[in-house]
Every structure is written in structure tokens, then in C-alpha cells.
Structure 1
């Protein structure tokens, strides 16, 4: 299956065009860390991987996009691009969580460390909370949906199982787990999602309208009583 995948949820932007060959799956990949500018980088990055792929946009069978959690802007950038490309190409859209992509990336980077343990992805969400999702090998199946939790609540969800925590919130999770007597270690604090490591079977079934996975309401809220009074001109 000809697939185009990309992620813009956190502090990186990644894209992958993959296709089948007689020897297995081949692909073209890009990955770049950045704090902002995902919208400006994503389109050129997609163009680069598609230039290396042996198929055109009209031959894409599936577009894969992460729906979150992540930054509000990052989530919207990726999903908007997926919807636009699907409309232009007729391809179906597949989705997965950004935390799942991080789990697959960690399993690729440190396979010996995570073997036989729960792989807990923890991203610092500020306000003493983390974005959290657990996975179990060998296929790194999700043990629950992504959640926004206090580190102590996330640690309890480990159910006493030995775990390796990865991501910018890993130290917070490990400290909370150790307070509960749970064996856990922190690795890869700078981990970001990289779609090159996503197994084909991990992608959720196709959908026409993926939606961002907002686990926290937006910080910006309308100000009560701040609207301007309507001015009467006396003209009917």
C-alpha cells in the first residue's frame, strides 16, 4: 500500500512515504526538531519524501496523521493537511496517537531496555500534569487511551508492573512510581514522534474527518463583559 504519513504534534515534524517492494516495505523519510513553524515546514517536507517515492500523489492509498495529544496549533496543522490531501487525492485517512508514535520510536531506539516491560510514554504537559499512555510488547499494543493525568495518578495506572518511561515527563512519572514502590526507569527525555517507525498494522481504520485529540481546554477564553456596546446612529 502506498502511504503518506506525517506528525506535527509536539517539538518535531516528521513525514514518511512508504511503499511495498518484493523485499518488504521501503520508504523515504524526513524528521526535524522545532518548537514552532510546523505549518511552514510540513508542506516542503511532504514534497521531499514524495519526490523520492516511486508513486505520485494520485497513487496514495492512505494518508496517516497523528491526532494528538500535542500543541493546539501542531494538532490542527497536521489534521488540516491530511484533510486537504485526502480531498485532492481521494486517499483514505488513517489515524493514531502521537504517544503511540513515540512508543514505536522508543522501541526502535532502545529495544533491549524496553523488552519485557511496560513502555510508558509521558510528556510534560505543565501544571503538574503529563500526557500519558502505556504500551505492552512485543507489538506495543496500547493498554489504554491517551490521558492527561497528574504523575501520581499515571503511576497508579502501571498497576505495579515494571516500566520504562520515555519522553519529557518520564522523570516526573518515575518519581511518582517510586513513591508507590513501583520499579520504573526513565529514558529518552528528548524523545519526539517519528513516523518512520510506525508499523503498518498500528494505524487505525480509515476515516473521512479526523479530529484533534484535545485533552485540555484552550487557555484563551472569551472575556465576559468585554464586548463593545452597539452604537445607535439614529438612522432607521
Structure 2
């Protein structure tokens, strides 16, 4: 029997859904992606319906559900988590939370064959969500913990010479240190996390037995204090 896994994401200005079908002979993924700032609530579930309809399967045929668990937009993460938890709970299926930063690294690796990747998302309040990755043959390996930090404080290991920056955090390029800029000759700030890569990562985690009950999987915000306070 094939594995059917649904992934959805609303962690950024984009909104996306993907359905992965995997069996012993083949793996295929149907996906929808839209730039929908401030329209995630209205568009997320219709995108889910579209990929299910294209695949001609019913929700009851799903084996697992996944979502972009963050870091990212607080509102978007809550929307995606609520939708994914509702689907997983209603279907009595395991739920998997997938790192938006890892999904972004996998996208950059698969699209451009980058190997040493710094993923960064604009965290507002003068900070970025950031992590570093080594990618090889569609396998992502973390080289640092995920963090929320001011661009000026970002440091990269000196033993790699081909770092590539990916994500909206690099719209703050001028605020990164000279050392970081010299060690990162290329950066792309127009890539957004997508449910398509999250589906592939979720299939990996599902096979490893990492699926959980819906109520146990929560968004990862990284920042505890969501309200910016001016200094006294």
C-alpha cells in the first residue's frame, strides 16, 4: 500500500499545501503554492482540497499530516498548526511538525545544488531566525541550532568557504558583519518555505516513527517575548 502524506504551511507571506505519495517503486508529490499575505485563513484549506482532488483521494486515505512548525510568522504558524491538528485529530492520524528553516535548506539544495546553506527568515524586531545546514543528495544535516538573533551577532565557522544564504532574513544583508558577508559570496532572499519540501522531510520522519498525537505537536516560535518593548 502506498503512503499518502499531506503537508501544509503558512509560516511566511506564502501559503502552500502538498500531497506526497510514496511506495516501493516511486515517490511523487503534488503541490500548490501561493503568495497570500494576510489571506492564509481563507486560502490554506482550499489548497489542501485542490491537491487531494488532483490526486483523487479522500482525506480518510491519508496516513499522516505535517505542517511547517516554525519558526516564522506567529499568526501563520497558529493557522497552520490549527488546521493540521484538526485534520490529524479528526482522521486519527499522526502529526509531524517540520522546521521551516530545514525545509528552506532542502529547497535551495534541490533547486540549486547548494551544499553549505545558511537559512534565515526575517523575525522582525531587528532579528532573524537562522540555522546552518550541510546538504548532500537530498539529505539535510544541521550544523547549528536554530536561533533568533540580531544579524550583527551572526557568526559562521571559518572552515567552509562556500556558504550560501537563503531566505527573507537576507533582506537585512547590510546589517550582517563584514566577516559574514565575505564568507557568503551569494545570498538569495526571495525563497519562501514550501509545503513540498516539508512533505519530503515529513515522510523521512514518519518512516523513522516520529509521528505524534495531534495535541502533542506545537509550533516552534523561538522567541518567547512576542511583543517588542521600547527601552526605558
Q: TM-score, normalised by structure 1?
A: 0.82
1:134-164 Cα offsets, whole Å, 9 max, x none, are 110212212233210122332x2x2113310
In structure 2, the partner of 1:196 is 196
CA positional deviation for 1:106: 1.3
Is the aligned partner of 1:128 residue 2:126? yes
Is the aligned partner of 1:215 residue 2:212? no
Larger radius of gyration: 1
CA contact (8 A) 1:64 1:93 kept: yes
Runs of 5+ consecutive residues of structure 1 not aligned to the other structure: 222-236
Which of residues 66, 89, 92 is equivalent to 1:90? 92
Is the aligned partner of 1:45 residue 2:47? yes
CA contact (8 A) 1:5 1:195 kept: yes
Are the structure 2 counterparts of residues 180 and 58 from structure 1 closer, same or farther at C-alpha, using a change threshold of 3 Å?
closer
Are the structure 2 counterparts of residues 71 and 19 from structure 1 closer, same or farther at C-alpha, using a change threshold of 3 Å?
same
Name which of structure 1's ranges 190-199 and 74-83 shifts more when overlaid on structure 2. Answer: 190-199
Q: Specify which structure has the higher proportion of helix.
A: 2
Are the structure 2 counterparts of residues 53 and 5 from structure 1 closer, same or farther at C-alpha, using a change threshold of 3 Å?
same
CA distance in 2, matches of 1:105, 1:62: 21
Are the structure 2 counterparts of residues 181 and 189 from structure 1 closer, same or farther at C-alpha, using a change threshold of 3 Å?
closer
* Greater RCO, 1 or 2 (C-alpha within 8 Å, sep 6+): 2
Q: How does 1:1-236 map to 2 (within 5 A)?
A: 1-21=3-23, 23-111=25-113, 114-115=114-115, 118-138=116-136, 139-154=139-154, 156=155, 158-160=156-158, 161-162=160-161, 163-170=163-170, 172=172, 176-179=176-179, 182-198=182-198, 199=200, 200-201=203-204, 205-208=210-213, 209-216=216-223, 217-219=225-227
RMSD: 2.3
Q: TM-score, normalised by structure 2?
A: 0.84
